[in-house]
């Protein structure tokens, strides 16, 4: 809002976010420190209940397909009944920690990791590689690659994962 030339206080933003989560327009997801095994009081993330609302507000020209895919994956976790958290490992973030009947699983979501120098793949795998427990770890992308394993981290096509 300040970039649009409007003055707004932190309290006002918090009130707006509370109203949007209370009305089920946004979902608030808390952050969990994986190494410290504790919930953090700051750093929540918000996901839209309907991606169409994002398009209505921002239009399609500012569409960031990676964030949209992450939002869709979150909604699918919620639909499947998982308990969902955002993970923190040191200074890096794990997109999702999900807890279900099978236990904990870790997920990174990226629209694509197929760049020429491999930097996106390394960036997305780094948080998962730094987790030292033996829970399943996944990288979901829209890349059309067969099931791939990166040191035990399974890379899956997001559409295939959504359909299972």
pLDDT tens digits for range 25-61: 889 998 777 665 655 556 688 899 998 887 787 777 6
- pLDDT grade for 159, boundaries at 50, 70 and 90: very high
Q: What does the alpha-carbon distance between residue 132 and residue 127 come to, in Å, rounded to a whole number?
A: 10
Higher pLDDT, 22 or 54: 22
Q: What are phi and psi of 38, to 5 degrees?
A: -145, 155
58-78 pLDDT per residue, tens:
777 666 888 899 999 999 999
Total Cβ atoms within 10 A of residue 29: 19
Over range 127-141, report the average pLDDT. 93
Q: What is the pLDDT of residue 116?
A: 87
Helix count and strand count (H, E) for the chain: 5, 8
The three-class DSSP label of residue 127 is: helix
Over range 13-22, report the average pLDDT. 84
* Residue 159, H or E segment: helix 158-163
Contacts of 23 (CB under 8 A, 6+ apart): none
Q: Do 96 and 84 touch, CB atoms closer than 8 A?
A: yes
């Amino acid at each position: 809002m300040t970039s649009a030339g409007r003055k707004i206080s932190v309290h006002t933003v918090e009130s707006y976010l509370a109203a949007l989560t209370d009305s089920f327009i946004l979902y608030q997801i808390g952050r969990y420190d994986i190494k410290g095994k504790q919930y953090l009081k700051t750093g929540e993330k918000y996901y839209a209940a309907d991606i169409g609302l994002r398009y209505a507000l921002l239009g399609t020209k500012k569409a960031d397909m990676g964030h949209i895919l992450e939002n869709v994956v979150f909604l699918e976790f919620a639909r499947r009944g998982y308990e969902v958290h955002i993970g923190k490992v040191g200074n890096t973030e794990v997109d999702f920690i999900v807890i279900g009947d099978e236990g904990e699983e870790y997920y990174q979501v990226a629209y694509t990791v197929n760049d020429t120098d491999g930097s996106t793949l390394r960036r997305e795998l780094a948080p998962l590689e730094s987790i030292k427990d033996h829970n399943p770890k996944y990288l979901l992308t829209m890349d059309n690659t067969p099931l791939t394993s990166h040191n035990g981290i399974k890379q899956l096509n997001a559409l295939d994962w959504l359909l299972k």
